[in-house]
Structure 1
Amino acid sequence: MSYEIVGKLVAKFDIVQRTESFKTREFVIEKSEDIGGRVITNYVKFQCVQDKTAMPDRFNMGDEVKVQFNIKGTKWVKDGRENYITNLDAWRMETVKMGQDNMPPDMSYNDMPPPSDVVDDLPF
């Protein structure tokens, strides 16, 4: 199952080579919501893996971004005790344009280029 969230990019961390063939990178977005007149701010940390580790490089700190991610959970036993970890694995990031001025104009058939002056001489 895939999820998405929009927020402001506030941290990008270095790539970490976990094993010879596995690398990860983390980044954080700030998400503020007005709940009953009170602004609640959350900081959500995501993980990118393998070929997705370069994904945050396209964005600047403070950019509004939409992150699409999966939730992954792992269980392991150490010294007879069960341990759990949850990762938010980001697989796509894109810029969010705020306001009408940044939105592309609606396309319509009137936006199509005029027909060319080529004569159609096909028999059908």
Structure 2
Amino acid sequence: MEVVGKIKKIDETKTYGASGFRKREMVVTTNEQYPQPIMMEFVQDKCDLLNKFKIGDDVKVSINLRGREWINPEGEAVYFNQIQGWRIEAIEEGSAIPPAAAPVAPVAKPSDDNNPDDLPF
């Protein structure tokens, strides 16, 4: 999957735990009729991919959706989703950024007989 848009925010790399797990978050605002701010994270060695980018850059980010289940103390299942980036490419200024997919109108099926007003039901 891919997200195309303009970088709104890039956080610093954060390190967690004794193992040195690294995570860096970024927000991209999509190029749609109703723009969406999408937060995604880059982990471990992928954190360094963001070093050459800055706020305002137009980018295309390849992502994976991740999900996990957690059983809370009451025994109920709670679900969490993550968007993880694994590749990021600059979109050159002046190049066309692909618009969001436009809805496609249904195509009328031609009638098999000579009466175009004859409904099939």
- 2 CA distance for matches of 1:14 and 1:20? 19
Corresponding residue for 1:83?
A: 78
- 1 CA distance for matches of 2:24 and 2:3? 18
Corresponding residue for 2:22?
A: 23
RMSD: 1.3
- 1 CA distance for matches of 2:18 and 2:27? 25
Match of 1:42 among 36, 40, 43: 36
1:57 aligns with 2:51: yes
Q: Could you say what secondary structure the match of 1:55 adopts?
A: helix
Shift of 1:14: 2.0
1:96 aligns with 2:95: no
Count of aligned positions: 93
- Flag the structure with higher strand content: 1
Q: What's the % identity of the aligned pairs?
A: 31
Shift of 1:33: 1.3
1:73 aligns with 2:67: yes
- 2 CA distance for matches of 1:64 and 1:76? 36
Partner letter of residue 62 of structure 1? G
Shift of 1:94: 0.8
Q: Could you say what secondary structure the match of 1:23 adopts?
A: strand
* Contact 2:4/2:31, CA 8 A, preserved across alignment: no
Q: Which segments of 5 or more consecutive residues in structure 1 lack a partner in the other structure?
A: 35-39, 101-124
- Flag the structure with higher helix content: 1
Partner letter of residue 16 of structure 2? R
Corresponding residue for 1:14?
A: 12
The TM-score with structure 1 as length reference comes to: 0.69
- 1 CA distance for matches of 2:7 and 2:18? 29
Q: Could you say what secondary structure the match of 2:12 adopts?
A: coil
Q: Could you say what secondary structure the match of 1:52 adopts?
A: helix
Partner letter of residue 81 of structure 1? E
